[in-house]
A and B are shown apart, each in its own frame.
Chain A
Amino acid sequence: MAANDRSNAEIAQLEARVSTLEQLLEVYERSVLEQSERLYAEQERMRLQTTLLESQGEASLEGVLSVSVDGRILFANRQLAQMWGVDRPVIGAKAYRETLRSMAERSADPDGFFERTAAVGDERESSQEIALADGRTFDSYTAPIRSQEGQLLGRVWHFREITALKEIGRMKDEFISAVSHELRTPLTSIRGSLDLMANGVMGSLSTESMTLAKIAQANCQRLVRLVDDVLDVEKIEAGQLALRLEVIGLESVVEQAIESMRPFGAARCVDFQIESSIQGARVNADSDRLIQVMENLLSNAAKYSQDGATVLVRLSRRGARLRVAVTDWGSGIAPELHGQVFERFAQIDTPAARKAEGTGLGLNIARGIVTRLGGTIDFESEPGAGSTFHFDLPEWEPGESAEVAR
């Protein structure tokens, strides 16, 4: 009986165990099913994403090429093959070097292109313009491809054709230059005629005729200045501003500029004063261009000053550089406009009555000239308190073998 009881109890226990196992199995089965469904969904999502990425890459107006660190083609779109005129690289093939080689052959400088481009392991991103042998120009951008953990996986390139863009830019410059040159001839005779009349060379005019002649003369001068400034800007942009460099005393050049601007200041009841602690210091520069820079700074300072104000020009030494600072106590420049001050046609906050005085190119030209002379230009300004524009130029140090004349 006891034995029967035991076996009955064992059977019951076993049954319970089996049932538990069955339940577990069921849970397990369900979980496997769920997991494989999830996996399947994940796979679908990945495939969709890959398709999406590929069609996005395919639909790009830019030529796209990406390669793995071991030189396998990860992606290359049709646009890449088309714009470079090469066979479309097979995705997955270890064909990185031959792809680049065939692209290099189309470039105007095949060796240079290959050298600059071939380093997949390079960690930097960069962009450059590429000239092609057939005259087209591409803009290229390249960056490393990294895993989310930061491991370097490969490199991607984007190429965009900018031939037309460059052509338009060149045409614009040429057009401006041609127009400006063409304007000079008629302006010469207009200005000459007006000057002869307004200066009384042709005999006395009636008061009203004289007023008209003076108005025409002043506006003609403004036009001449504008044309000159436009041509200067164009020369600076093209890197063709010719300089006549000579070793000159900075103080005497600044004084010369101040003297030439005195009438301009006087007409606005503004006085120019100079303070110098750099007597005899010299710079290797073009004096005419330096005077042009000074005249631009001085005329701005005078324009933005109150009647009866003083504009102070300070010359000082800053290490190996000489600083010229022009300070006015005028209206100043609002902080939000500080970024535009040296840009072209950036006349800001000009009192309406004085708007017509400048061309809006002066500071842009000043920056161009100072930069060409190896210097820097900057300003500080506070609205309502005034502005200080200053430029620094390297002081000229006589060479060891050169004669020292102090």
Chain B
Amino acid sequence: MGARRKRRGRALRINKILIVDDDEDIRAVAEIAARRIGNWEVVSAASGEEALAIASSERPDVILLDVMMPQLDGLATLAKLREEPTTAGIPVIFLTAKVQPHEIEAYRARGAHGVISKPFDVTTLPDEIRGILRGV
């Protein structure tokens, strides 16, 4: 409970976001939106493995994580982030084309803060991220 409150408390203010997607173009578009509209500092990773290293060194305030990636997929990456003390508390939002209601529930149960479906609306992406972290 304490950890959860701390997570929420920190989430209210985003300074840095980590965007993880194996598709270079989607990553580039999301990065620009986060930088220009969200006014956030942006770091990005092209794979789950890379995401683990960057999350640990950069300590972002939130991670936008693609679900379908080769090798380490989103769910496996999330599990590893939670195992590592330095990244265990960072809120994670999944980015996925698979959004059947039961899948959203499954992602939440695995510890994701929320799910944003692809194709997403970039112009509202930062607001959507803020909304999820506020618990809306």
Contact = CB atoms under 8 A, between A and B. Distances in A.
User: Chain A interface: which size bin?
Assistant: 20 to 34
Is chain B's binding surface mostly helix, strand, loop or mixed?
A: helix
Contact of B120 (A192, A193, A196, A244): A192
B70 interface: no
A194 B122 CA distance: 9
Interface stretch (B29-37, B74-82, B86-94, B107-115): B29-37
Nearest to A191: B119
A185 B102 CA distance: 22
A192 B119 contact: yes
Interface residues of B, number: 20
A147 interface: no
B91 to A, nearest CB: 22
A157 B122 CA distance: 60
Interface stretch (B8-16, B20-28, B50-58, B127-135): B20-28
B30 A192 contact: yes
Contact of B118 (A184, A195, A242, A243): A184
Given A184-B97, A196-B33, A224 B119 contact: yes
A201 B101 CA distance: 32
Nearest to A192: B29
Interface centre among A192, A199, A201, A286 (most CB of B within 10 A): A192
Contact of A185 (B26, B30, B121, B122): B26
B106 to A, nearest CB: 12
Contacts of A188: 23, 26, 29, 118-120
Contacts of A47: none
Contact of B23 (A189, A193, A199, A243): A189
A202 B36 contact: yes
Nearest to B37: A201
A184 B29 contact: no
Nearest to B98: A181
A86 interface: no
Contact of A189 (B26, B36, B100): B26
B101 A244 contact: yes
A285 to B, nearest CB: 13
Contacts of A201: 32-33, 36-37, 123
7 smallest A-B Cβ distances: which pairs?
A192-B29, A189-B25, A188-B119, A192-B122, A244-B101, A242-B100, A189-B26
Interface of A: 181, 184-189, 191-193, 195-196, 199, 201-202, 224, 242-244, 286
